[in-house]
Amino acid sequence: MKGAAQPSGAHGAASPAHPGGAPGPRLTRDGDIRSTTIPNLFHELFVARATGLLVVTDGDNRISIQVKNGLVLFASSNQRDDRLNQYLLTSGIIGLKNLMKALEVMVATKDRLGEVLIRYKLMTQDDVEKYVRAQVCEIVYSTFQFTRGRFAFDSKPPASENITLNLSGDAIVIAGVKRISSWARVYEEVGGLNSEYRTTRDMPAIVKDLPLSAEETELLRQCDVPTSLEEMCEASKLSDMDVCRSVWALLLVGALMRA
């Protein structure tokens, strides 16, 4: 694929086999970020069942992602707009008056925002956990917009967190690629209308636990035989852009291949 991660420095040991049986790629430890770097990285981390901290930077934007055995556990960002309070307000989950009250208490008591929201009955424990997971997912998915900068993966035990995602790297790929808005990036990977695809031998094992939509499952069914991108776009209920993004994601995780 174009724009694969450019390695520098040490590499990890050979990774375990993919769930479908194919040998996994070597885990790239650090390098420059290009168009396909981030999607490829999450797939590599999953296949290698890696544990450690992935740090992605672009200028002053820094995102840290904790991974255990190929599962994404948690993420944090140094950007103010990525904080939980901003997410709750901009998503319409909590009003400004209640949020400001909770923030004042948080500063005074040094408690976490979620703890304050529960204490003042502005949210339940289940609500806080749901919205923290949603906020963390948004931070993780935002890395799929990165086409420049640097990444580094450090193999070390993850920090302890009360609320975790436990999402596989491939599940992150399926959802994250859908957030990519650049047609140029998608087109580079899926090609023109005459490009043909078919499912791989390992497809059933690969997608077994992935959060595929009914439309994505239908794309895979179509590709039991070589199928052109034009044929998929014409037959699918998805928009053409969404078909192409889904094809790219399914290529990345190894469920599809070029015919």
Question: What one-character-per-residue DSSP string does 164-220 give?
Answer: ---EEHHHHHHHHHTT---HHHHHHHH-STT-EEEE-TTHHHHHTTS---HHHHHHH
Q: Are 67 and 171 in contact (CB under 8 A)?
A: no
Dig out the tokens for 56 from the structure: 């992605």
Task: Please say whether the beta carbons of 196 and 171 come within 8 A.
Answer: no
Looking at the fold, whether 67 and 158 belong to one and the same domain comes out as yes
**Shared-domain flag, residues 95 and 67:** no
51 and 165, same domain (yes or no)? yes
| Single pTM value for the model | 0.87
* 167 within some domain: yes
Counting the structural domains of the chain, the total is 3
The answer on 147 and 122 residing in a single domain is no
Q: Are residues 72 and 154 in the same domain?
A: yes
Q: What value, to the nearest 5°, has the Cα angle with vertex 160 and ends 211 and 42?
A: 35
pLDDT digits (tens, 9 = 90+) for 232-249: 999 999 999 999 999 999
- Domain presence at residue 172: yes
Answer whether residue 96 is part of any domain. Answer: yes
Tell me the pLDDT of the chain averaged across its residues.
91
Q: Report the chain (259 residues): mean pLDDT per 10 consecutive residues.
A: 36 37 66 97 96 97 98 97 97 97 97 97 97 98 98 94 96 98 97 97 97 98 98 98 98 98
Residue 18 lies in a domain: yes
The verdict on 96 and 213 lying in the same domain is no
pLDDT tens for each residue of 11-64? 233 333 454 444 455 788 999 999 999 999 999 999 999 999 999 999 999 999
Residue from 9, 61, 34 nearest 188 by CA: 34
Same domain for 146 and 108:
no
What range defines the domain where residue 216 resides?
183-258
Domain boundary among 67, 100, 134: 134
Answer whether residue 86 is part of any domain: yes
One domain for residues 61 and 149: yes
Residue 196 lies inside a defined structural domain of this protein: yes
CA distance 241 to 27: 30
Q: Is residue 1 part of a domain?
A: no
In whole angstroms, give the CA distance from residue 119 to residue 104. 14
57 and 164 share a domain? yes
Q: Which amino acid is at 254?
A: G
The answer to whether residue 246 is domain-embedded is yes
- The verdict on 71 and 85 lying in the same domain is no
Residues 128 and 253 in one domain: no
Could you tell me the two tokens for 247? 């094809």
Do residues 40 and 155 share a domain? yes
